[in-house]
Structure formats: structure tokens, C-alpha cells
Amino acid sequence: MWRALRQMPAQAGRSGVGRGEAACGSGSDEVRRPRHGLESTGSALLLAALTRENLQRAWQRVRANKGVAGVDGLDIDQTAAHLRTVWPAIREQLLSGTYRPSPVRRVAIPKPEGGERELGIPTVTDRLIQQALLQVLQPILDPTFSEHSYGFRPGRGAHDAVVAAQSYVQSGRRIVVDVDLEKFFDRVDHDILIDRLQKRIGDSGVIRLIRAYLNSGIMDDGVVQTRTMGTPQGGPLSPLLANVLLDEVDKALERRGHCFVRYADDANVYVRSRRAGERVMALLRRLYGKLRLTVNETKSAVTGVFGRKFLGYSFWVAPGGVIKRKVAVKPLTTFKQRIRQLTCRSGGRSMQDVVDHLRPYIRGWKAYFRLAQTPRVWRKLDQWLRHRLRAIQLKQWKRGTTMYRELLALRAKLDVARQVAANSRRWWRNSGMLLNAVLTLNWSAPGKLAKNRR
């Protein structure tokens, strides 16, 4: 792959000369005409996207994201070998406007709350091209987006959105207009999206290529289905295009002075009364209707902010009227269900294996929900988890004699070891109060578990 990329100019406007040659000015041959005499699109942005440095950064990002193969069946390493020979031809097609992306591969993944989310997985080659485009377009488009938009933007994230929402609730806006769009990524109108994009960049080569990606179709069970709407999740460009489309609604809310937070297609507007909330909901229906998008009436509501979740968090009132954050009920329930699956006592796995599977899930979950201001909940979850691990350990020791011997080796009191061994089949009960002083936090550390596994 790197060999193929070295064949490309280092920057837009540099002629296709040997390696190490200094860049020429903007009047170089490559700007005036594409190589091999093909008609150029005249796209400065496209030339910038296809420079060697930009493509190398895009390739590093695609490789770091890993991901599966698209409809061509080529993974990242196979694509790298393939591009060594075909990239020059692909580049000429991109510059001449004749490149046709491959269809995306349909993949359905289960949602935590039930149902399925459809993804469209582009080929690795198309992910590379989209990422290269993203790196050029994002610095141009992102500064034009609303300050109330937080999804898929550099230097912004879900945590920033939650903190902003918390500040609005703290200011006295206790009614939320919670809007959920029905199958947003599947119902984006291509013509409306292209129209909004043209108003922002006006580069015919890039617009043509993005239109080709939107129209590339989706493959399901070996059959390619054409489409006139939708920008399937799975490609690097999809979140940016979503922000381009929805920014129109953001700006309309800004002009009216509303306090709101949007993360991708999830938007919450905070108001002081239910009557004001109903007016905002009617406004949003009209604004989204102009974009041919539909509000999901089942999931959307004008309601009190407490008990409503946003990006996995909800709010509660601490003493003194201070608004604080906590993990919402649904993600907390999902977490416990997953922990029960990973710590099932009938799994037939060693203690170290159980912990190795637990660790990445717990770290990821805690990293996302680290903003929760509920230390008591964290302590209870920690106690419950260690209780489950101690129950697994007791079951793996099986016989009372083994429990007695191992507990004495861990310096348990003689009467505690005898009591646990005498009731050797009561794993959950014995792993509670009796063993708290024996199988402690130090015991559950990775090094200790490695020594104690049986």
C-alpha cells in the first residue's frame, strides 16, 4: 500500500515527478490537466484529498479502526496488497469523475433495548477514500456547525453533551422536549442532502463523488438493492453528512434562542413549561418535515427531565437543589445482565479466564459512565461483582475439604474455614459476609487470581 501511495503527489498542485523533487507552484501540469490525458473534474478539494500525506493518514486511521471486509471480501491486509497494483487506475477514475464505489454490505447488529440496527459496510478501498475525503471536508464544514451539536465532531463528545444538558436543567429548565427520529440514517433524502452540501462547499468533483457513494446501493444476500434515500451507518463520511443535514434544524432553534443539545440524531430541547415544550415539539415536526424526516412519536415526548435518559445518563436532585448525573436505569440493567452472563458459575472456565473477559467490558463501561455522580451506586456494584467472583471460586474448589485447605492457605480464621466447608454447596451464601475478610480486593487482583485459579 505504501508503495502505491508514494506514486502520488505530496500536495495538490505538485507535478507527478520523481520522489524527493520540490513542489511546483499551483500552475503545475497536474493542476492544469490530469495524467494520461483524462478530463479532470477541476476539483481542488479532491486533489487535496488524494495527496500522499492525506492518504497515508487516512490509511493509518482505517487500519486502526480495523473492521471487516466489504462486498469484495478483502480485509485490510488483502486490500493493501491489491491497491499496490490498482491504485493508480482508481486515482485516475476519481479525478476524471468516473469512479463507481462498490455497494455496501448490509450487516444487522442487535440493539441493547431490542430490535436491530442496520449497518452498511463499505469495502476497505472505499473506507480509505471516504476517510481521505473526511479529513479534507471536516476542517471546512465543522466550524460552520452549531455550538449545540456534539456528535462525531473533533474535540466534542457525548460527555460534553451530557454536561451541557445538566447545565440547562440546573438553570431551571425542568421540562425536556426529547426528540427521536425514526430510522434517520435509512431515510436521509439524497437530493436534499446534496443540495445542503452544495451550499457549503460548491466543489463539483467532491459533490459528484459523494453522490456516487449515496447511490452505490446495498448488498443483501448477494443481491444489490438500489436506493434513493439513506446514508447507512458504517462509512467514515456518514456522520459528517448527517451533521450537514441536521444543522439546518439546529440553526432554526438557535435563532429562536432555545437551549438544546444534539448528538447525531438525538436532540433534547430544555424549556421551563410543558406548554412551551409542546410549541417546540410542533416546531420540530415542521422543521424535520421539510427535510422529509419523521419524528418517532413512540420514543419522543414532552415530559419532566427526571427519569428521562440522554446518552445513557439521567439526572437527579442532590441536597441543596444541585443537579447531578447518574447512570440511567436501562444501561444499568443491561450492565448487570451482561455481568451475569460473563460470571455464570456453570461456564466451566478458570477464574483467570472469567476475569480476562470481564476486564475489558468493565473498563469500557466505566470509562463511558465515569461522569456519574453516584459513589454509593459504584460501591454497591463493586460489592455485587466481587460477591459473584467469590461464588465462582467456591464452586471451582468443589469439595468441602478443598475449600477448607484453600481458605486456611489464605489465612482465613479456623471457624470460618470450617463453616464454609461444612456448607460447601451454598456458594452464593458462603461468598457473602463470611468470605469478605478472606477473598478481599487484594485477592481479586490479576496476580493473585493467577496464583489462586484451580
120-149 pLDDT per residue, tens:
899 999 999 999 999 999 999 999 999 999
Q: Vertex 356, ends 350 and 359: CA angle to 5°?
A: 140
Between 244 and 68, the higher pLDDT residue: 244
Position 336, amino acid? K
Q: Average pLDDT of the chain?
A: 83
pLDDT (0 to 100) of residue 86? 94
Report helix angle 124-141 to 76-96, nearest 10.
60
Position 355, amino acid? V
pLDDT (0 to 100) of residue 429? 67
Position 94, amino acid? L
Closest to 252 measured CA to CA, from 293, 297, 283: 283
Between 363 and 217, the higher pLDDT residue: 363
Between 429 and 303, the higher pLDDT residue: 303
- Going by pLDDT thresholds of 50, 70 and 90, the confidence category of residue 212 is very high
- Going by pLDDT thresholds of 50, 70 and 90, the confidence category of residue 450 is very low
pLDDT (0 to 100) of residue 437? 61
Contact 431, 394 (CB under 8 A): yes
Residue 24 has pLDDT above 50, yes or no: no
Mean pLDDT in residue range 150-161: 94
30-71 pLDDT per residue, tens:
333 333 333 444 478 999 999 999 999 999 999 999 888 899
303-328 pLDDT per residue, tens:
999 989 999 999 999 999 999 999 99
- Going by pLDDT thresholds of 50, 70 and 90, the confidence category of residue 15 is very low
pLDDT (0 to 100) of residue 428? 72
61-80 pLDDT per residue, tens:
999 998 888 999 999 999 99
Residue 20 has pLDDT above 60, yes or no: no
Between 220 and 27, the higher pLDDT residue: 220
pLDDT (0 to 100) of residue 360? 93
Q: Which run of H or of E encompasses 137?
A: helix 124-141
Residue 425 has pLDDT above 50, yes or no: yes
Residues 6 or more apart in contact with residue 209 via CB below 8 angstroms: 46, 94, 97, 99, 129, 133
pLDDT (0 to 100) of residue 18? 37
Contact 200, 141 (CB under 8 A): yes
Mean pLDDT in residue range 151-162: 94
Contact 208, 93 (CB under 8 A): no
Contact 210, 245 (CB under 8 A): no
Between 414 and 197, the higher pLDDT residue: 197
Q: What is this structure's pTM? A: 0.81
280-291 pLDDT per residue, tens:
999 999 999 999
Is 113 exposed, middle or buried, given 0-12, 13-18 or 19+ CB atoms closer than 10 A? Answer: exposed
- Going by pLDDT thresholds of 50, 70 and 90, the confidence category of residue 1 is low
Q: Cα(268)–Cα(63) distance, rounded to whole angstroms? A: 35
Mean pLDDT in residue range 185-208: 92
Residue 151 has pLDDT above 60, yes or no: yes
- Other Cβ atoms less than 10 A from the Cβ of 147: the count is 9
Residue 366 has pLDDT above 60, yes or no: yes
- How does DSSP assign 371-422, residue by residue? G---HHHHHHHHHHHHHHHHHHHHHHH-SHHHHHHHHHHTT--HHHHHHHHH
